[in-house]
Amino acid sequence: MGRWSERIRAVAERALACGALEPIATEALERREQGFPFVLRWVSTLAHKPRPRSEERRNPFLPPEPELTVGALGKQHLVVLNKYPVFAGHALIVTREFEPQTAPLSSDEFLAWHALLAEGGLGFYNGGEIAGASQPHRHLQWIPEEHLGEAQLRAFLPLGETGWAELPWAAWSALLPAQAEGNAWSEAAYRAYRDALAALGWRLDAPQLPPYDLLLRRDRFFFIPRRAERLAGVSVNALGYAGSLFAASPEKLRALATLDLIAGLCTLGWPRAEFAGKG
């Protein structure tokens, strides 16, 4: 069947040729604050990207567009291209049947994620609209390794012991066994997820969790609790906590560039100081 990254690239080329992928146009600004390298982008497709506001809006994952579907990943998931990609090769792992984005994840989700993360790249998850999710149907996300620089990833996803990471904002982190096979890796990632929930006093058996973001590489895991979605009118998802923020217009990009971004991320979540003594 070949590597997932190769299959994603091939399907993306065909989807772009037939118009199933929206054209990508970006303008980027780079900022460095307190040693954190940020990249702020104006993304033209965001202005046209629909947000679900009612029960009547069609679920784009039931079924996903055939031209965007890469293939089955086990019995419960499909790999689908993001229709509005900022990064080439941006893929989603969606549940075959509807599962809410706000419900707790299961070990099956981490096992599915491993299939792509085993080839490198960054996984991320927006747990609810306040955390930056634009669709209520469960979807895990993955972008190839080359899109975020190693310096950016080292700064925003530092290696360390399990617990509250040495970051300005509250982020529960854990080391993952990078060389482990799928089942062992997914068990370790799911254990890190459960530990993060326990540190916050959140229940794994709750029908719905408060908003949060996840960031994963093969060797590390970060869980960021959220309390607000927007910074200067810009929706911030999990990639904001990896230093990448996306505005829907040049005006919003300029407004974002005037802010103290470190303080902004703490406001969208919590300052680490409020959680460092817990868990």
Cα dist from 250 to 29, 85, 255, whole Å: 11, 18, 9
pLDDT surpassing 90 at residue 154:
yes
Using CA atoms, how far residue 180 sits from 118, 218, 238, 262, in Å, is 9, 9, 25, 34
Question: Where do the domains of the chain lie, and which CATH numbers do they carry?
Answer: 4-46+83-274 (3.30.428.70)
Assess contact for 243 and 37: CB atoms under 8 A: yes
Instruction: With cut-offs at 50, 70 and 90, classify the pLDDT of residue 54.
Output: very low
Residue 31 has pLDDT above 90, yes or no: yes
The pLDDT tens digits for 143-153 are 998 888 888 99
Q: What is the pLDDT of residue 278?
A: 65
The per-residue pLDDT for 30 is 93
Confidence band for 275, pLDDT divided at 50, 70 and 90: confident
What's residue 148's pLDDT?
A: 87
Cα pseudo-dihedral 217, 107, 119, 90, rounded to 10: -80
pLDDT digits (tens, 9 = 90+) for 170-228: 999 999 999 999 999 999 999 999 999 999 999 999 999 999 999 999 999 999 999 99
Q: Quote the pTM value.
A: 0.94
Cα(96)–Cα(192) distance, integer angstroms: 25
User: Which is nearest to 26 in space by CA: 244, 232, 230, 242?
Assistant: 244
Mean pLDDT confidence for 91-105: 97
Q: How confident is the model at residue 55 (pLDDT cuts 50, 70, 90)?
A: very low
Q: Is 152 helix (H, G, I), strand (E, B) or coil?
A: helix
Strand partners, 91: 81, 142
Task: Assess whether pLDDT exceeds 70 at residue 46.
Answer: no
Q: Supply the pLDDT for residue 44.
A: 73
The number of angstroms, rounded, from the C-alpha of 112 to the middle of its chain's C-alpha atoms is: 15
pLDDT for the residue 84: 86
Q: Which residues contact 270 (CB under 8 A, 6 or more apart)?
A: 169, 170, 225, 227
Q: Is the per-residue pLDDT at 48 higher than 60?
A: no
Dist. CA 247–CA 39, nearest whole Å: 11
Averaged pLDDT of the chain? 92
Confirm if 132 and 213 have CB atoms less than 8 A apart.
yes
Given a cut of 60, is residue 94 above it in pLDDT?
yes
